[in-house]
Structure 1
């Protein structure tokens, strides 16, 4: 079910974005954009209209959580947040649909994508 989904990924570390791109490719997903900051992520969501967003929390200019809040003000895109250190708060659950701890495995990412796509927003 994850195949052919249009995904935007955001992380300020290129090697992390590369890892997500590889994992998503193996899952049959189409990565339509990559952002290195929260501000870039917001803009990519406006232009690419992805099916799902995967974003780190800590990024320059605008955090992944702040970007998620901005995105959800105008779009109903499921958002998966990933982080090695931080966890979203209960208040953040209004803007995000899933949280994964880095490093993210292929099966965990696949399950999260399937869950957020199937769940109503």
Structure 2
């Protein structure tokens, strides 16, 4: 069975790009969300192996969604996806329970390596 991923980003282009990269490297993208509130709902409905979580989104940020998911499932594997130069935000995300991070723009290999390390 392929490792499952929930892709969370407020832009359709980014969700589609990540979905394609993940599928090409052997992951099963079982869901998508465009804000933190949807991310929480989809996480508990789908129980993915990993979540890729954007930070800046409408309705609820990735930081808040990460904190909420980890509160109810401390073993959740959340990978923060953020723009370059956001070190302070990345530190907060890790403090909130994220397991790793990737900075945009990124290569497919970086995404694959980070997700695989989180699963192992």
Whether TM-score is above 0.5 comes out as yes
Moved more, 82-91 or 15-24: 82-91
- Structure 2 CA distance, aligned partners of 1:10 and 1:91? 18
What's the CA shift string for 1:62-116, capped at 9, x where partnerless? 1111101100111222110011153334343231111111112111011101221
CA contact (8 A) 2:63 2:92 kept: no
Query: Which structure 2 residue ranges, 5 or more long, are not aligned?
Result: none
- Count of aligned residue pairs for this structure pair: 116
CA RMSD of aligned residues (A): 1.4
1:115: which partner in 2?
A: 117
Within 5 A, what are the aligned runs for 1:1-121? 4-75=2-73, 76-85=75-84, 86-87=86-87, 88-94=89-95, 95-118=97-120
**In structure 2, how many angstroms separate the alpha carbons of the residues matched to 1:67 and 1:89?**
14
Mind listing any 5+ residue stretches in structure 1 that lack a counterpart? Answer: none
Which deviates further from its counterpart, 82-91 or 100-109?
82-91
Could you list the runs of 4 or more consecutive aligned residues of structure 1 that deviate by over 2 angstroms after TM superposition?
85-92
